Amino acid sequence: MSNLLQEMKATGTIIEKVKAYNDANRKVAILCNHKRTVTAGHANAMEKMSERIKGLRYQKWRLKMQMLDLEPNLKKKKGAAFFERDEDLDMEWIKEHQAFLMEEQTQKIKKKFEKDNEKRVADGEKEMKVSELNERLEAVKEMKEKFTKENKSGKVEAEGRGPTVEKLEAQITKLDQRVDTMSVQAQDKEDNKEVALGTSKINYIDPRLTVVFSKKFNVPIERFFSKALREK
């Protein structure tokens, strides 16, 4: 690990640097034959991560379409390719994802309603009636109507308070960063599915080397050791 550390040139985000460390750790683990059986839930976890990344890319596409809603001439300025939907985001997947988003919103509203009622009871106030919940759930109906309209027209109306192209572009930039971060995490998880990194890091790598990496590349030591291990 000491030699690998000297050769290492970890750059990029914290997540990318952690992956670089894990890549080096994996080489040590393989040399020490620290293999493990792929966990039963690995494939399912990877599928969920993939779906989350697709969901973010769908959000990006909707934001781009909102830009066109505000300024239709942007298609000429930026080129049609910028506004094209990724091929794997087909209409069948989109409808399934929209159903997921509506169900997710429904559960959020219900949980918030229950929490608000619990607080009212604790404060000695009367619980809100079901009619209040139904009124809140109208937002989901509006969501469904909006998605149905979008799917039919292929257009997305600009959302939010005072939307501007600049604001939408800023949101797209943030989504790009989230997609990049999650993609690195997914690749790291896949690369290490058969390697016992924990065993290698704790038992076979001098912890001082991990501390050196942490300081050299400005990565919080908490990324590598739990509080219990740090206090040992």
Q: How far apart are CA 185 and CA 17, in angstroms?
A: 11
| CA distance linking residue 209 with residue 223, whole number of Å | 14
Half-sphere exposure of 3 (CA within 13 A, CB side): 2
SS3 state at 188: helix
* Residue in 106, 49, 61, 117 with CA at minimum distance from that of residue 86: 61
* Residue 21 annotated to the active site: no
- Map tokens 């009636």 to a residue: 129
Residue of 83, 93, 204, 225 marked catalytic: 204
Can you tell me the distance from the alpha carbon of 81 to that of 149, in angstroms, rounded to the nearest whole number? 23
Tell me which DSSP letter residue 222 carries.
G
Q: Which residues are catalytic?
A: 204
